[in-house]
Structure 1
Amino acid sequence: MKKKRENEKFEEGCAQEESQVKQSSEREASCEKNSMENGEPQECGAEGNAVEEQAGRLDADLEALRKELAETKDRLLRMTAEFDNYRKRTLRERGELISQASGKTLEALLPVVDDFDRALASCEKCDTLPSMVEGLELIRKSLYGFLKKEGVEEIEAKGLSLDTDVHDAVAKTPAPEEKLKGKIVDVVRKGYKLRGVVLRHAQVVVGE
């Protein structure tokens, strides 16, 4: 009896093992059939699940890297734009400082030009050596040449209507002619512009 039960258990175990092998074979056959129908190789069973999980993790990692790359690129673009704005602002401020310094220097030189104009006007009214007059004229010409080279130009005034943007009326006088009423009849001190910006207003006398 004992031997008979052992035989029955053995036969039952063999049957179970055979059933498991058969089921495994059927799954593999089904997987291979699907692979052939789809035209693509497929992983079956536990190994296939592991491959799918690994592929999922790789996709997630790839998406994270893409997101990080996009954020880094965006930060780089912003930094580049900020640096470009900083460079332009620095150049503009530097240019303004140079222009201001240049303007102050040129403005300080204008009284010297005025003195030469007055000196030449005085020489024309008195007996002065021609060589001295010629020397003063050469110096005056050099000064005006330097001012022009630096962008300084004289403000037109005499015979024009008063323009408070460039003219400073310091006095009024009866107009010598009817057409000069409200016009500038005399210039007390010349005015100048530096590259289009008023460096010194012209002091003028207006006819009335």
Structure 2
Amino acid sequence: MDEGMLEEEDGERGEAGAKRMWESVETLTKYYKEAVLAGDYQTITEIETVLLRLETEKNKLEERLSTLTEEITSGKEKFIRLQADFDNFRRRSEKERLSVRSNAQGEVIESLLPMVDNFERAKQQIKPETDKEKQIDTSYQGIYKQFVEIMRSLRVAVVATVGKPFDPSLHEAIAREESEEFKEGIIIQEFRRAFLLGDQLLRPAMVKVSSGPGRKIDKTATQISLEQPAAAAGMDEH
């Protein structure tokens, strides 16, 4: 390809068209082959200069691409960490909100527990005899039943005591007593009920715990013990 052809194409396509042509590797390769075959060293030199410049730009672009890739990867990792941190924050916030709500609810319910004690105490002590007293007692027990249903709807549950092993996390032992019926460490009497709000203990139960059966007196040993002083006295007489 001679210089006249290049000038003609430059004139037809204009400066922008010529620039795109020279920056096209495929076109440059084609013209480079033609220039080599034609022995056009000036064109060969020009094309090699352009190719060298394109190679330099390519290397720069590859470096830039590598940098951008690293930045994107780093940004993606940061985004993932931020997303994880946000999810953890959201879970903590929800947990704290539920905890605050549960604590507030627990405080309110705990303040009502003495009322439950009074209802239970009255239920055990009041023995209605007349029709009027029975009517009042029925009304009274109806109110208590409604109260119990409300407490149950709030996930309030009674902690089992009598016949159960003593658990210091649920029960408070205020007395110990020997028992032939219950093994050592078993609750034999309840003085005050314990209540749970879900998994949260509102108050422990006050209970009496068995210390196991008392020591049985060995009658044979007792008899020998009583006889020994008498035998000794006989020996003294001799």
Q: TM-score, normalised by structure 1?
A: 0.71
Equivalent of residue 155 in structure 2, options 138, 151, 166: 151
Equivalent residue letter for 2:98: G
Q: Deviations over 1:70-93 (max 9, x none)?
A: 222121111111111111111111
Between the two structures, name the one with larger relative contact order (CA 8 Å, sep ≥ 6).
1
Question: Corresponding residue for 1:67?
Answer: 70
Deviates more, 1:193-202 or 1:157-166: 157-166
How far did 1:207 drift? 4.5
Contact 2:128–2:134, Cα closer than 8 Å, also in 1: no
Q: Deviations over 1:131-179 (max 9, x none)?
A: 110111111111111111111111111233433222212224564xx21
Within 5 Å, give how 1:95-106 maps onto structure 2: 95-106=98-109
Contact 2:128–2:137, Cα closer than 8 Å, also in 1: no
Equivalent residue letter for 2:151: L
Contact 1:162–1:184, Cα closer than 8 Å, also in 2: yes
2:125 aligned with 1:122, yes or no?
Answer: yes
Contact 1:120–1:136, Cα closer than 8 Å, also in 2: no
> Cα–Cα, structure 1 residues 34 and 89, in superposed 2: closer, same or farther, change >3 Å?
farther
Please give the alpha-carbon distance, in whole angstroms, between the structure 2 residues aligned to 1:29 and 1:81: 55
Percent identity reads 26
Question: Corresponding residue for 2:33?
Answer: 32
2:67 aligned with 1:58, yes or no?
Answer: no
Question: Which ranges of structure 2 fall in alignment gaps of 5 or more residues?
Answer: 1-28, 38-43, 212-238
Please give the alpha-carbon distance, in whole angstroms, between the structure 1 residues aligned to 2:74 and 2:35: 42
> Cα–Cα, structure 1 residues 35 and 66, in superposed 2: closer, same or farther, change >3 Å?
farther
Please give the alpha-carbon distance, in whole angstroms, between the structure 2 residues aligned to 1:141 and 1:88: 38
Question: Corresponding residue for 2:52?
Answer: 49
How far did 1:30 drift? 11
Equivalent of residue 179 in structure 1, options 167, 181, 205: 181
Please give the alpha-carbon distance, in whole angstroms, between the structure 1 residues aligned to 2:67 and 2:163: 77
> What secondary structure is seen at the aligned counterpart in 2 of 1:168?
strand
Q: TM-score, normalised by structure 2?
A: 0.63
Question: Corresponding residue for 2:174?
Answer: 170
Contact 1:158–1:187, Cα closer than 8 Å, also in 2: yes
Contact 2:177–2:208, Cα closer than 8 Å, also in 1: yes
How far did 1:66 drift? 1.7
2:195 aligned with 1:192, yes or no?
Answer: yes
Contact 2:32–2:47, Cα closer than 8 Å, also in 1: yes
Question: Corresponding residue for 1:94?
Answer: 97
Alignment RMSD, CA only? Answer: 3.0
Equivalent of residue 80 in structure 1, options 83, 100, 103: 83
> What secondary structure is seen at the aligned counterpart in 2 of 1:204?
strand
Please give the alpha-carbon distance, in whole angstroms, between the structure 2 residues aligned to 1:112 and 1:152: 14
Please give the alpha-carbon distance, in whole angstroms, between the structure 2 residues aligned to 1:142 and 1:136: 10
How far did 1:29 drift? 11
Please give the alpha-carbon distance, in whole angstroms, between the structure 2 residues aligned to 1:144 and 1:76: 51
Question: Corresponding residue for 1:139?
Answer: 143
